[in-house]
Amino acid sequence: MSELVLINVSGRDKPGLTSEITGIMGRYDVRILDIGQAVIHDHLTWGILAEIPDESKSSSVVKELLFRLHALDLQVRFAPISEAEYQSWASGRNRACYIVTLMSRDIKAEQIARVSAITARHGLNIDNISRLSARPSLKPSDDRIACIEFSVRGTPEDPEKLRSDFLHIASEMNVDIAFQEDSIFRRNRRLVVFDMDSTLIEAEVIDELAREAGVGEQVAAITELAMQGKLDFAASFAERLALLKGLDESVLAAIAERLKLTEGAEHLLRSLKSLGYRTAILSGGFSYFARNLQQRLGIDYVYANELEIVDGKVTGRVSGRIVDGQRKAELLKEIALKENVSREQVIAVGDGANDLPMLSQAGLGVAFRAKPLVKESARHSISTLGLDAILYLIGFRESETH
C-alpha cells in the first residue's frame, strides 16, 4: 500500500538542490503529486507532495532525505496526508481560478492584507502569490512601479460586490486592483485598441486647438461634460468644432510637436510590438495628430476624425462620419475580424464615456485614468500607474518586456 507525504524544505538556496532531493526519491520510485518552489532573497521555500509506492519503504525515504538535507544545512518537515485529504484537495483544484493583480508605486503590507481579506471574505483561497515587477530600489522615486499577482480559487457568490469591494479599497489606498478569470485568453490577447486624447497623450487636442483659437475655456468646459457622459458626444463635438472655424492650419504642426505622451506609452507599445501584438488608435479626436502618433509609436491602424481645412483655414467641420462611441465599438469588431482574432483576444483602453462601448466589446476593457462614471462602469481600471501597467494585467513580468 502506498503512503502520501508532504515534504517542506526551507533554507539558503543552492544549485542542484532539486536534483538532489528528487534523485533520492527516484531510487524508491516515488510518484510526484504536486511540487512548488519560491526563492526570495536567496532563501528557498520548497514543497512536494509525494506518493511512496511501498509503505514499508517510507521510513527509509524519510531517513535518507532527512540526513541529506541536514548535511545541506536545510530545514525539512514531513507531514502524512490521508487519501481523503488528498481527494478533497484534488477536487478543489477544479474550481474556477481567478487572477487578482495589485499595482502601486510601492507595495505595502497593509495593501496585501486588505486584498487578501477581501478574497477570503468572498470564499476565495489564495493558491500562489508572485511578484511581476522588478525588485525596487531602496532609494525614493516618483516613477516606481510595483505589481503583485495573486492566483485564487473558488466561486464568489456575488462577483459585483467583490469588484465593488476592490474598487473601494483601490480608491482608499491609491492602488489599482484588477480581478479577472484566469482563462486561456488572459495571456493570449492579440490586438490592443487605444483612445488617443488623455489616453495615449496627456492632452485633449480639441482643447489645445481651442486655446489657439481663443475659445479655450468655452471648449474645455464642453469637453469635460462630454467625457463625463453628461452631453451627447456627437452633438457636443459639432458644437466645439464650430468654435474653431477660421483657425489657421499652421497651428496643427506646432500643437503636434508639443503633445506629451502618457507615462508608460512608449514602453507599452514597444513591448506589444516585440511580442507580436497588433495595435490601433480609435479616436474621437483628429487624424492629423493620430497619424503623427502612428509614426512615432509604430501603431498599425488609425481611425479618427478628418479635420476639414479649406484655403489653409479650419472650417469648423469634419469630413465623413464622426468617430463616436458607437463607431469605436464597430471599428474594434471590424479590425478584430480583419486580424482573425476573437473579441476575447482584444484589449481596449480609454478614459471617456464615449469609450465605454468599445471597452464593453473587448475581452479586457481598461478605463485609464478615467472619469468616475467610466471607472465605475468599466470592468478594469488603472489610475495609479502608467499605461505600461497593462502588461501586468495580461500576466507579463517586467523581465519579459522591452
pLDDT in tens, 86-140: 988 887 666 679 999 999 999 999 999 999 999 999 999 999 999 999 988 888 7
Give pLDDT < 70 ranges for the chain: 92-95
**What is the CATH architecture of 191-204+259-400?**
3-Layer(aba) Sandwich (3.40)
pLDDT score at 27: 93
Distances from the Cα of 74 to the Cαs of 15, 27, 60, in angstroms? 13, 21, 19
pLDDT score at 226: 83
Report the alpha-carbon distance of residue 80 to residue 9 in Å, rounded. 15
pLDDT score at 140: 74
Rg (CA), the chain: 27
Residues 306/318, Cβ–Cβ less than 8 Å: yes
Question: How crowded is residue 228: how many other Cβ atoms within 10 Å of its Cβ?
Answer: 14
CATH fold label, 95-181: Alpha-Beta Plaits (3.30.70)
pLDDT score at 92: 66
Q: What does the domain layout of the chain look like in residue ranges?
A: 3-91, 95-181, 191-204+259-400
Strand partners, 153: 97, 125
What residues contact 236, with CB distance under 8 A and at least 6 apart?
Answer: 222, 223, 225, 226
Same fold for the pair 3-91 and 95-181: yes
CATH fold label, 3-91: Alpha-Beta Plaits (3.30.70)
Burial of 247 (0-12, 13-18, 19+ CB in 10 A): buried
pLDDT score at 94: 63
Report the alpha-carbon distance of residue 283 to residue 394 in Å, rounded. 23
In 3D space, the residue among 197, 220, 151 whose CA is nearest the CA of residue 293 turns out to be: 197
Residues 345/189, Cβ–Cβ less than 8 Å: yes
Report the alpha-carbon distance of residue 122 to residue 137 in Å, rounded. 35
pLDDT score at 330: 98
**pTM here?**
0.86
- Give buried/exposed letters for 145-166 (b at 16+ CB in 10 A, else e): bbbbbbebbbebeeeeebbebb
pLDDT score at 93: 63
Residues known to be catalytic: 195, 197
Report the alpha-carbon distance of residue 75 to residue 55 in Å, rounded. 24
